[in-house]
Amino acid sequence: MWSNFFMQQEDEGRMGVASAGGAGGMGGRGGKRARPPRMNESQEGKIKLAFFVVVVGVVLSVLGLGTEFWVELSQPKHFQNNQTCKMAHYGLWKSCVRTLWVMDIDPERQSCGPAELPGESNCTYFKFYTTGENAVIFNKTTDKNLSLGTAMLSVISLFLMGMGSVCIVMSLSKGVPFLLKPAAVCFLISGLLIFLSIAVFHQSVLSLLASDHSIPLHHELSWSVACVGSAGAILIVGAIFFLLLSFPFNLLEKCTGQKRNSNP
- Of 220, 209, 222, the residue nearest 138 (C-alpha): 209
The CA distance from 52 to 48, in Å, is 6
Question: Coil, helix or strand for 37?
Answer: coil
The CA distance from 157 to 194, in Å, is 7
Residues in CB range of 41: below 8 A, 6 or more apart? none
Predicted pLDDT of residue 40: 73
Among left, alpha and beta (phi > 0; psi -120 to 50; other), residue 86 is: beta
Choices 3.40.1670.10, 2.60.40.420, 1.20.140.150, 2.40.50.140: CATH for 42-247 = 1.20.140.150
- Contact in structure between 252 and 241 (CB atoms under 8 Å): no
Predicted pLDDT of residue 26: 45
Is the model more confident about 22 or about 84? 84
Predicted pLDDT of residue 39: 66
Look at residue 55 and tell me whether its pLDDT is greater than 90. Answer: yes
Predicted pLDDT of residue 36: 57
Look at residue 194 and tell me whether its pLDDT is greater than 60. Answer: yes
Question: Average of pLDDT values for 186-203?
Answer: 96
Predicted pLDDT of residue 210: 93
For residue 67, count other CB atoms closer than 10 A to its CB. Answer: 18
The percent of residues above 70 in pLDDT, for the chain, comes to 79
Is the model more confident about 253 or about 57? 57
pLDDT averaged over the chain? 82
Predicted pLDDT of residue 252: 46
**Domain locations in the chain as residue ranges:** 42-247
